[in-house]
Structure 1
């Protein structure tokens, strides 16, 4: 699809570019399977500086490429680019009660622009000084034993594996994993267990098999049922679909042990940082995750990796046509680029390729 010009005046230009991120393997979850993720790349040009944002649009978020572009079109870009980061954030959030990923893409781009102008990194802006090495999990969708072995080979440099569950064959998959791999592992059910007894029974099974934590076993709205399960199984339960924004955290604290915080759910960088701080106050464990974004979204999130208990930012390893470069992995350890701003830039050649216009 072609570039959509959203705003242009003087040396300022804002545009949107739809793109499909293709998975290396079909990404099978409890409730769906997909071979790609739609994203919209937001491009902001201000004088000699060009920055980008990313809206990743997995189906469960309920947004589409067209709805994202429509949201961009509804905004007053002249004011957004003139305001401070906080003023722009407030204005954008008031424009819609939804469109979280679109808001996140603007947050990424505006933070990048601000930091490049100041010649600082995103981590510098938020005064993140930790020298802690953070290791990302490597995610494997629901698989047969043969598929599992092939995916384990693909992720062999990673120290922690994340297994997607939620099928009738979950116990067999865990047995196959234990047969072929001895690395620590966690699981993500993606709301795949009903009723609560099933979640409790599988929780006990996973506990006996050494799982690190269990993510979102029940449907998002079932907080009371989740609290019931949590009382019966002594393992950390992490909320994902149940918690999107800062205001949701008060519900999570009563039913979960931790929360998976993502830029695309939270509306962007500032609220992600606030959610991390509030989660600590509520004694919630933190998984820093993503929606299988490109290296752009994952690099932006990775600046907060040292603040999390676990990190799930392996999207660039799962896709075959990443249009950006930034975050890299050294035996699963996250290594951030040293460039000012977010640190992600278009893959060489993408800036001039007429199909992408980056």
Structure 2
């Protein structure tokens, strides 16, 4: 490959409304966009710095710029970068660049199945039970809802949303907010509310108890899983993994994580941070392996990118090559 120029920048994309989880709220998607430029061809990648692990927009951009002087090809990335937002943005930019240069879709170059459309979860931010129920009732055309929970009152939140949407498939994400004292009662409530999946009920590193209690509802690791190297530690504790490119280190790392999780019989959720269609597009290539996908970031934005993912009635179509891949 000829010389590659790497550029990185911060972009802020306003949200339709505040996005609230147990750790805080945001009103914009702050993303890092990377462009890998090789003559007439330009590949793009987008990542979201993960504050939970000390990442910042400024820090990720500096990491990318520092690594860029050593990088001339896709193969160089993991020599200089660890899994995280910086590696994700660069990895996806190089996949896109190689696709643009060769005219071969990323799915074909990566040996992935032909891209498919898939129903995405639509996220309801953490709020009072009545507000969450009202928001669920506003989207009767969306069949898969994901509830952000936060600890005290989560049983009431699940009950209120279930009453408002008896027809919906419901997932919940506790974002590490439950405790060893409360998890039993919340699991009981989840069963009564016909919840399909519970994400990260306990804090990562403090979830040993999950190996010793029944799982009447399948449990999905999120903060407890980053890369394929973590899978062995999850066995017996979790039934599924949430694969996010920002944690895994891009599409390359996410493919390894999916393969390792499937090898051990774990179910797959494909997720992302709150970001634009450019971040969700690479993750969509993993949809054929997914039991659930949670790529509703574009639906949460006040506006999305040009050639953004087409989402209608909760069904996401594969990305337009003009966007990515």
TM-score after normalising by structure 2: 0.92
Query: Following TM superposition, by how much is the alpha carbon of 1:320 offset from its aligned partner in structure 2, in angstroms?
Result: 1.4
1:218 equivalent in structure 2: 202
Q: Which runs of 4+ in 1 moved over 6 A?
A: none
Q: Is the deviation greater in 54-63 or in 181-190?
A: 54-63
* Residue 44 (structure 2) pairs with residue 14 (structure 1): no
**Structure 2 CA distance for aligned equivalents of residues 341 and 171 of structure 1:** 41
What do residues 311-353 of structure 1 show as CA deviations (whole Å, max 9, x unaligned)?
001000011143453321132122013427834xxxxxxxxxx
Q: Which whole-Å CA distance do the structure 2 matches of 1:236 and 1:265 have between them?
A: 22
> Unaligned stretches of 5+ in structure 2?
none
CA contact (8 A) 2:308 2:320 kept: no
Contact 1:223 1:251 in 2 (8 A): no
Are residue 171 (structure 1) and residue 141 (structure 2) matched? no
Verify: 1:189 aligned to 2:174, yes or no: yes
| Aligned residue pairs, count | 323
1:257 is aligned to 239
Distance in 1 between the 2:215 and 2:231 partners? 21
Quote the Cα distance in structure 1 between the aligned partners of 2:3 and 2:268: 41
Deviation by residue 1:181-204 (Cα, 9 ceiling, x = unmatched): 12110100000012x131122011
Give the secondary structure class of the aligned counterpart of 1:108.
helix
SS in 1 for 2:42: strand
Tell me the CA shift for residue 68 of structure 1.
1.0
User: 2:45 aligned to 37, 50, 53, which one?
Assistant: 53
Residues 205 and 224, structure 2, Cα contact 8 Å, conserved in 1: yes
Q: How far 1:136 sits from its partner (Å)?
A: 0.6
For the aligned residues, what is the CA RMSD? 2.2
Once residues 115 and 250 of structure 2 are traced to their aligned partners in structure 1, the CA distance between those partners, rounded to angstroms, is 24
Distance 1:308 1:191, change over 3 A: same
2:26 corresponds to 1:24: no
How many angstroms does 1:260 deviate by?
Answer: 0.2
1:283-307 deviation per Cα after TM superposition (whole angstroms, max 9, x unaligned): 1111000011211010111011111
**Counterpart selection for 2:132 from 131, 148, 152:** 148
**1:291 alignment partner in structure 2:** 273
Q: Deviations over 1:235-268 (max 9, x none)?
A: 2100000111111111112311111000000011
**Structure 1 residue aligned with 2:290, among 308, 325, 329?**
308
Q: What is the CA–CA distance in structure 1 between the aligned matches of 2:242 and 2:189, rounded to whole Å?
A: 22
Per the normalisation by structure 1, the TM-score is 0.84
1:111 aligns with 2:102: no
Partner residue, 2:80:
92
Q: Distance in 1 between matches of 2:157 and 2:44?
A: 39
Does 2:62 match 1:70? yes
Is contact 1:238-1:260 (8 Å) kept?
yes
Report which stretch shifted further, 208-217 or 316-325: 316-325
Question: How far 1:234 moved relative to its partner?
Answer: 1.8
Following TM superposition, by how much is the alpha carbon of 1:69 offset from its aligned partner in structure 2, in angstroms?
Answer: 1.7
